[in-house]
Amino acid sequence: MTNETETQGTANDALGSVETVYRMDWRRSYPESVVRVWAAISTAEEISAWMKYPTRLEARLGGVIHIDFSAQGSLEGVVCEFEPLRSLIYTWGDSLVKWEIEDVAGETRLHLAHVGVQPELAAGLGAGWHAFLDQLQDYLMGSSRHERYRELKSRYESEVQRIGVL
């Protein structure tokens, strides 16, 4: 006769893996309502307008986000969290993009995090998201500015080297 402990097996003492995960974070404030900013970051038509690439977004948990970057290819992800007027999280390749917004004293505070960034892509992703946030601001404010991606990429490359990511 075996005892209950033997039939359940013994504890597994194997350690889990420990890895470095790179993330990038941006914080912005907009003199717009949470409702307005939420619409800009969570509806396909508005994302397409400020990101300037055709976007499809199924605004629900498990929905698909698809962005067509034309000559650079496209990206398709899955919505992992959809909490209206608060947060939107979706996969971006093998990483996660997290948008969080909140009303603070009548303005909207936005926090964008890209988690699981591959080190060799950090400078390009950093410059890309930074430029997209500039475009979002311009879209919300009804203004425009010159394209800053190249300038920003150079700055992000310097920062990645400075902190020793690569």
pLDDT tens, residue by residue, 60-93 = 999 999 999 988 889 999 999 999 999 999 999 8
pLDDT confidence of residue 112: 98
Question: In DSSP terms, which residues pair with 78 in a beta bridge?
Answer: 64
Residue 3 lies in a domain: no
Residue 79 lies in a domain: yes
- pTM for the whole structure: 0.86
pLDDT confidence of residue 164: 86
**CA atoms of 156 and 139, how far apart (whole Å):** 24
CATH of residue 132's domain is: 3.30.530.20
Q: How confident is the model at residue 7 (pLDDT cuts 50, 70, 90)?
A: low
Residue 6 lies in a domain: no
pLDDT confidence of residue 151: 94
Long-range contacts of 31-34 (CB under 8 A, 24+ apart): 31/106, 31/107, 32/107, 32/108, 32/140, 33/103, 33/108, 34/85, 34/101, 34/102, 34/103, 34/108
φ/ψ of 149, rounded to 5, equals -55, -50
Q: How confident is the model at residue 56 (pLDDT cuts 50, 70, 90)?
A: very high
| % of the chain beyond a pLDDT of 90 | 80
Number of domains in the chain: 1
Secondary structure letter of residue 62 according to DSSP: T
Residue 1 lies in a domain: no
pLDDT confidence of residue 2: 54
Residue 105 lies in a domain: yes
**Residues 66, 73 contacting (CB under 8 angstroms):** no
CA neighbor of 98 nearest in space, from 118, 79, 119? 79
Residue 120 lies in a domain: yes
Domain that includes residue 130, residue range: 21-163
Residue 13 lies in a domain: no
23-36 pLDDT per residue, tens? 999 999 999 999 99
Residue 12 lies in a domain: no
